[in-house]
Amino acid sequence: MGTHSSTSKPATIAALAGARAVPPLLIVLYHFSEGHHYSGLRLLDLVATRGYLWVEFFFTLSGFILTHVYAARLRELWTRKGYFGFLKARLIRLYPLHLFMLLVLLALVVSARLAGHLGGYASIYDRVYHPMVDAKGFVLSLFLVQGWNTLNYLTWNGVAWFVSVEFALCLVFPLFLKAQHGRPWRGAALVAAGIAGLMLLLANSSHGLDLTFHNGVLRGLCDFSIGVGLAVLFRHAGAIAALPASAHGAAQALLLVLLAYVFTGIGWSHTGNDLYIALTMQAFVFILAFDKGWLADLLKLRGPQLLGDWSYAIYLGQTFWLQYMRVLEFRFYPPRDAMVLGQRFSTLMWWLEPTLLVLACALWGGALAEWVEKPAAKWLRARLDQPRRAAPASGIT
């Protein structure tokens, strides 16, 4: 693959854009299952309980796409103007929706506590095992540093720890860009360094790669390094790119079989086995980057492309529904053994609740993307005179 000139814009990789469609919804299912219950069906639970590992896919995708877009602009990013222009572009992409959801959660907390005060009951924010919504966490979230080992808990919009780490990765991105510049062996070295880092994290973790407020930055750095390295290898993989679509499709089918195996055949999650799943997910970034093959063609369809476009908003918006569902459970749900539509309420909600949650998060994410995320970014670019030369949709973001 040839190196782009500094004035050209790298082609959008549609298959990778579509690959962002489903993982945020699986992360939603994971968070629901962790906070409520698992199904008891081994196959479903093995998939749901590993939802947190899709973050590996997104951090890797972020490193890949940012390198794909900015590799030819290395000198520019090492200037003061270029560096701060890059950070401004990334914050325009990341921050407005993050701030909006932080304020939405603040409104939910205030209204739930007010309703509890007026109704003479404890809100979900004043019970045992309540969500952490203190002033310190709010301030740290405002400055996007809540995921930098500054707290020992997730706070406010808990999933935004990912955005905090993504911001940290943007700060050091020129260093990665410098490290990848040159011969293909640098790409292999960055991939090897990222894998070694993940192995070290797993050796010192009691819960696998499920690292968020503590060592989430290190987790992100390792995955990001793998993504940057894969982008280098992709750039020099002209022979692979020249293979027919059938060869790419065969590789994609084999990788799907491998993904199914590591999800269902290597035991439970939160162990050292997380590495095998992470590496398989990361391999998809490289395989799909060539934009050829039957799976790539499926991901280019309108549905995956639309959900992929909404993926950041789906991911960042889920906490509202996860917490609002708890409000409904405490105040409005009938007793679990009540008969509803000929079934026990607990039996009915076993499948209805997660189904409605995933649907609500998808629609909510679409509304946030179209009515908040995109208009806010457009408004800020116009006010800050930020040209949209190559605004990448990296990772979830």
Q: 247-288 pLDDT, tens per residue?
A: 999 999 999 999 999 988 887 778 889 999 999 999 999 999
Q: Please give the biggest Cα pair distance in the chain.
A: 70
**Percent residues over pLDDT 70 in the chain:** 90
Q: Is the pLDDT of residue 388 over 90?
A: no
Residue 318, sorted as left (phi over 0), alpha (psi -120 to 50) or beta, turns out to be alpha
Q: Is the pLDDT of residue 4 over 50?
A: no
Instruction: Yes or no: say if 358 and 48 are a contact pair by the CB < 8 Å rule.
Output: no
- Res 22: pLDDT: 92
- Res 164: pLDDT: 96
Report which secondary-structure segment, H or E, holds 133. none
What is the distance between the alpha carbons of residues 107 and 122, in angstroms, rounded to a whole number? 17
Structure tokens at 382: 């116009």
- Res 267: pLDDT: 77
Q: What average pLDDT is seen over the chain?
A: 88
Q: Is the pLDDT of residue 226 over 70?
A: yes
- Res 6: pLDDT: 43
Structure tokens at 308: 């992929």
Nearest to 126 by CA among 111, 115, 107, 113: 113
- Res 125: pLDDT: 86
Sequence-ordered list of residues with C-beta below 8 angstroms from that of 101, at least 6 positions apart, any chain: 157, 160, 316, 317, 319, 320, 368
Distances (CA, A) of 294 to 198, 251, 283: 31, 10, 16
- Helix (H), strand (E) counts: the chain: 18, 2
Residue in this structure with the two tokens 């407005």, named with its chain if needed: 96
Q: At what angle do helices 311-331 and 80-119 cross, to 10 degrees?
A: 10
What ranges in 121-235 are assigned the alpha helix state H? 135-142, 161-180, 185-203, 216-235
- Res 391: pLDDT: 54
Give the residue extent of every domain in the chain. Answer: 14-384
pLDDT tens, 308-345?
A: 999 999 999 999 999 888 887 777 777 666 666 667 76
What is the distance between the alpha carbons of residues 69 and 92, in angstroms, rounded to a whole number? 17
pLDDT tens, 169-225?
A: 999 999 999 998 888 899 999 999 999 999 999 999 888 999 998 999 999 999 999
φ/ψ of 339, rounded to 5, equals -90, 125
φ/ψ of 307, rounded to 5, equals -65, -35
Structure tokens at 56: 């590996």
Instruction: Yes or no: say if 280 and 258 are a contact pair by the CB < 8 Å rule.
Output: yes
